[in-house]
A and B are shown apart, each in its own frame.
Chain A
Amino acid sequence: MTATISGDTLSGGFTEAPMQSARAFREILEVLARPGLIRTVTGAAPPAPLSIAAGVALLTLTDPTTPLHLAGAADCQPVRDWVAFHIGAPLVAAEEADFALGTWDALQPVARFRIGQPDYPDRSATLIVELDRLTNHGPALSGPGIALSTWLSLPETAAFRANRALFPLGYDCLFTCGDRLAGLPRSTRVENI
Chain B
Amino acid sequence: MTDQAYNFAYLDEQTKRMIRRAILKGIAVPGYQVPFASREMPMPYGWGTGGVQVTAACLVPEDLLKVIDQGADDTTNAVSIRKFFQRTAGVATTEATAEATVIQTRHRIPEVPLTEGQILVYQVPIPEPLRFLEPRETETRKMHELEEYGLMHVKLYEDIARHGEIATSYAYPVKVEGRYVMDPSPIPKFDNPKLGQSPAIQLFGAGREQRIYALPPYSDVVSLDFDDHPFQASKAPHDCDLCGAKDSYLDEVITDDAGGRMFVCSDTDFCAGRRAEGHVGRLGEPV
Contact = CB atoms under 8 A, between A and B. Distances in A.
B4 interface: no
A157 B229 CA distance: 42
Contacts of A18: 7-9, 13
A39 to B, nearest CB: 12
A17 B141 CA distance: 36
A25 B16 CA distance: 10
B24 A187 contact: no
Given A122-B25, A168-B29, 14 more contacts: A22-B60, A25-B58, A26-B60, A33-B214, A63-B14, A65-B18, A121-B25, A121-B29, A121-B32, A122-B29, A144-B217, A168-B32, A172-B24, A187-B216
Interface string A29-69: 11011100000000000000000000000001111011000
Nearest to B8: A18
B17 interface: yes
Interface string B3-47: 000011100011011101111111111101011000000000000
B61 interface: yes
A51 B61 CA distance: 25
Interface of A: 17-19, 21-23, 25-26, 28-30, 32-34, 60-63, 65-66, 118-122, 124, 126, 143-147, 167-168, 170, 172, 185-187
B38 to A, nearest CB: 15
Interface centre among B8, B27, B179, B217 (most CB of A within 10 A): B27
Contacts of B142: 119
Identify the 7 closest CB pairs spanning chains A and B, nearest first: A18-B8, A185-B28, A145-B216, A122-B25, A144-B216, A119-B145, A33-B216
A10 B173 CA distance: 51
Interface string B183-223: 00000000000000001010000000000001111111000
B79 interface: no
Interface string B114-142: 00000100000000000000000000011
B249 interface: no
A65 B23 CA distance: 16
B174 to A, nearest CB: 14
Contacts of A21: 13, 16-17
A61 to B, nearest CB: 6
Given A22-B8, A22-B60, A121-B32, A185 B145 contact: no
Contacts of A33: 27, 201, 214, 216-217
Contacts of A143: 177
A61 B21 contact: yes
Given A144-B177, A146-B218, A172-B24, A22 B32 contact: no
Contacts of B119: 29
Contacts of A34: 216-217
A128 to B, nearest CB: 12
B100 interface: no
A146 B22 CA distance: 21
B57 interface: yes
B17 A61 contact: yes
Contacts of B16: 21-22, 25
A65 B25 CA distance: 16
B21 A187 contact: no
A126 B24 contact: yes
B144 interface: yes
Interface in B160-183: 177, 179-180
Contacts of B34: 122
B35 A122 contact: yes
B59 interface: yes
Contacts of B216: 33-34, 144-145, 185, 187
Contacts of A19: 8, 60-61
Contacts of B145: 118-119
A163 B201 CA distance: 23
